[in-house]
A = this chain, B = another copy of it.
Amino acid sequence: MAITSPRQNAVETEREQFLATYRWMLLARLSEDRLSSLWKAGKIVGGVYLGRGQEAMSASLGVNLKKGDIFAPLIRDQAGRLAFGEPLIEGMQTYLGSRLGPMRGRDGNIHRGRPREGYYAMISHLGCMVSAVAGALMAKRFQGDSDFVGATCIGDGGMSTGSFHEAMNMAAVEKLPLIVLAANNQYAYSTPTSRQFACADLVDRAIGYGFTGHSIDGTNLKDCLTTIGKAVAAARAGGGPQLVVGTILRLAGHAEHDDASYVDPIVRHKPFAVDCLRAAEEMILAKSWLAESDLATLRNEVMNEIDDAVSTAQKEPVPDAGTEDWCALSSRHLVDGHLA
């Protein structure tokens, strides 16, 4: 009988994790492609924000988190949201304004979450989610929990906010098990990094906060999985807060109305402009973890999931002003009746 050596097991688990994460990336990519078409078809009101090109980073974070952890994703984390456990339908419901979705039409697009499940719903103001996650971790410490981490994401632009700074410093003072995943995707809307920061590398901020700093190639899923995995494990093991900075290019407009024509053509040919999804597929084939045909099957499978989610969400009721519960307070007796 064959005996599998530890070495073989390691290879096996590497393969499994890589493929599982790749699947989340694929689901994110194709579901966002669908959102883009829906937007172009006028089926979505407001902005559509894609994480195209950042799926490897985002998904690698999501798969490294588990139940009981806190996750506050940001603009470009469709992959991380799915990997963390958000049902595909919820993104569709939120974009399509379903009354049955988590936000019930009250907020839309990326402004969604289920805080009760450790999955926080971002406010638009950049930097503001970091301290919320820090506070959640303080709470878990008060409550005597163990084996938990909190994670959130930020961009090269969001790191310029005072809110971000205050929260990073606070998290370090409290030695919290916080992972901050920063995507330096070269632009904040139209603003290039040269107008956003002046340090050589954003990871150089880690030392000033008292974070452990890590750099990753955001186009390389293997690197993302390994390094983010290490950072999450370190935080979980009491190693204190971790800053992971990935270099990448935003492979979409800021939102779907934006053709990103301002992106420097030279930048488009830099190594960090590589599409992480295609790169992952190439590696899968190179390692012959899957065959071309398997990838095609997978893609169909994922497409079907997306079709189902979209058609379900589209059939769902939208909010109705008449029956809406117009109340910003959970304490009904404290609602100011004279403002109605």
Contact = CB atoms under 8 A, between A and B. Distances in A.
30 contacts: A160-B166, A160-B169, A160-B170, A161-B162, A161-B166, A162-B162, A162-B163, A162-B165, A164-B165, A165-B165, A169-B197, A172-B197, A172-B198, A172-B199, A173-B196, A173-B198, A197-B210, A198-B209, A198-B210, A199-B209, A199-B210, A200-B210, A204-B207, A204-B208, A205-B205, A206-B208, A207-B207, A207-B208, A208-B208, A208-B209
Q: Give the oligomeric copy count.
A: 2
A172 B202 CA distance: 13
The 9 tightest CB contacts between A and B, nearest first, are A162-B162, A198-B210, A165-B165, A172-B198, A205-B208, A208-B208, A199-B210, A204-B207, A162-B166
Contacts of A162: 127, 161-166
Contacts of A204: 207-208
A175 interface: yes
Dominant secondary structure at the A interface: helix
A195 interface: yes
Interface string A174-209: 010000000000000000001111111010111111
Interface of A: 127, 160-166, 169-170, 172-173, 175, 194-200, 202, 204-210
Contacts of A165: 162, 164-166
Contacts of A173: 194-198
Given A199-B207, A205-B205, 7 more contacts: A161-B166, A162-B162, A172-B198, A172-B199, A173-B195, A198-B209, A202-B208
Contacts of A209: 198-199, 208
Residue picked from A162, A202, A208, A209, most chain B C-beta under 10 Å? A208
